[in-house]
Amino acid sequence: MESKVVNSGDEHNIRLYSSSHQRFIHSAQSNHLFREWQSKGTTNHSPNDFILPLFIIPECDSQEEITSMPNVCRYGVNKAIEYLKPLVSEYSLKSVLLFPVMREKGFAKAINEQFNPVIKLIPKLKNNFPSLTVITDVCLCGFTEDGHCCVFNENGKMDNSESISLLSKLSVSYAKAGADMIAPSDMMDCRVDAIRKGLNENGFHEVSIMSYSAKFASCFYGPFRDAAGSAPKFGDRKCYQLPPGSAGLAMRAVKRDIEEGADVVMVKPGLPYLDLVQKISSTYPEAPVAVYHVSGEYAMLCHGATAGAFVLKTAVMEVVTSFKRAGASIVITYFTPLILKWLKDA
């Protein structure tokens, strides 16, 4: 098997093997929060457990309400810094997951900070909040004219090879800007391997990967697509996102991603797939499991509480506890600001 030697500075040379079954572990422990996640949580909750998703727009001083997601906004770079200051300093926010909202499409713009606001924001986050862990979602849907998570060849077929090559280039762009972790959400085959190789070959061995491994074709993504402007212009994503009943495919996808070098695996959405969270956690106890409590789940709880069906705090904390009980170490949720405040006041 061929190997390639790259220089890693003053440290030992590292051999990168042309195999999809890589065994890198340094990226899983390169950050204080990653070390915590690798230590596996319980049903006790701390700020370390929660990641806040943020939608970032190019207009630096703008803030836009998202009508389908109560109390959630899109933020320009300066507004994002302003919004995060009290969450980090007063409520111990530890991590954010960034999504670019592009005004102009095209992959050349995806890797250019003049057009991709996430690339512009990352250095400012690291400067203002040195302890904040910055995770970037990586997908093509925000950059393609058709809103799909991949590119298509001249015959109209999904071009997996070209798609994962572009995903790797986008990941390297985020790493160069200072991202701590890359989170591929596209569900292309072998994209974790392509991203890991791209990061390593560019000297970013310490950058971690959290893969959307068990991502289902779900109706609960509706508000997100409104927020990010990423709805497909034709067809759907059922050929690459998992069928809701496909426990076997989900387990195969998780196994593949772990073997390719994912440091954390994710189940998305959360509540409808707690059985998969439990099965993945018990089958792969060495891998931290994240749950994405998605936009539709968020909106459902908000509207239920507004209608008087239940008390929001009680419902949210019951849901979060169910994620942890099932085996999740990490919860990605739009309720993170409220949860952090509740934890501080407890």
pLDDT at 237: 54
29-51: average pLDDT: 81
Domain contains 5: no
Share of the chain above pLDDT 70, in %: 86
User: With 50 as the cut, is the pLDDT of residue 8 above it?
Assistant: no
Choose, from 268, 279, 324, 344, the residue flagged as catalytic.
Answer: 268
Domain contains 38: no
Domain contains 29: no
Q: Mean pLDDT: which of 38-52, 211-225, 315-329 is highest?
A: 315-329
pLDDT band (50, 70, 90) for residue 2: very low
pLDDT at 104: 81
Tokens of 234: 């034709």
User: With 50 as the cut, is the pLDDT of residue 4 above it?
Assistant: no
Alpha carbon distance 314, 320 (integer Å): 10
Structural domain count of the chain = 1
Domain contains 1: no
pLDDT at 39: 67
Alpha carbon distance 20, 316 (integer Å): 39
- Is 215 designated active site? yes
Binding site for Zn(2+): which residues? 139, 141, 148-149, 239
- Give the other-Cβ count within 10 Å of 78's Cβ: 15
pLDDT band (50, 70, 90) for residue 145: low
Domain that holds residue 292: 46-345
pLDDT at 147: 66
Domain contains 22: no
Mean pLDDT score of the chain, rounded to an integer? 87
pLDDT at 44: 80
Q: Please, which residues have CB within 8 angstroms of residue 93's CB and are 6 or more apart in sequence?
A: 47, 50, 52, 84, 87, 132, 336, 337, 340
pLDDT at 323: 96
pLDDT band (50, 70, 90) for residue 239: low
| Span 77-104, pLDDT tens digits | 999 999 999 999 999 999 999 999 988 8
Alpha carbon distance 145, 141 (integer Å): 8
In sequence order, what DSSP letters do the residues of 199-253 get, joined into one string? HHHTT-TT-EEEEEEEEB--GGGHHHHHHHT---SSS-STTTSBPTT-HHHHHHH
Q: Is the CB of residue 194 less than 8 Å from the CB of residue 142?
A: no
Q: Is the CB of residue 117 less than 8 Å from the CB of residue 76?
A: yes
Report CA-CA distances (Å) from 22 to 165, 260, 320: 18, 5, 33
User: With 70 as the cut, is the pLDDT of residue 256 above it?
Assistant: yes
Binding site for 5-aminolevulinate: which residues? 225, 237, 295, 334
Alpha carbon distance 174, 113 (integer Å): 10
pLDDT band (50, 70, 90) for residue 229: low
Domain contains 39: no
Q: Is the CB of residue 218 less than 8 Å from the CB of residue 293?
A: no
Positive/negative CA dihedral, 206, 139, 340, 272: negative
- Is 233 designated active site? no
pLDDT band (50, 70, 90) for residue 230: low
Prediction pTM value: 0.87
CATH number of 304's domain: 3.20.20.70
pLDDT at 25: 80
pLDDT at 187: 84
Choose, from 215, 233, 279, 344, the residue flagged as catalytic.
Answer: 215
Domain contains 12: no
Domain contains 209: yes
User: With 50 as the cut, is the pLDDT of residue 211 above it?
Assistant: yes
Q: Please, which residues have CB within 8 angstroms of residue 29's CB and are 6 or more apart in sequence?
A: 35, 38
Strands (E), 139-202: 181-184
102-113: average pLDDT: 85
| Span 260-315, pLDDT tens digits | 999 999 999 999 999 999 999 999 999 999 999 999 999 999 999 999 999 999 99
pLDDT at 198: 97
Q: Which of 6-10, 174-178, 229-233 has the lowest mean pLDDT?
A: 6-10
pLDDT at 227: 64
pLDDT at 14: 39
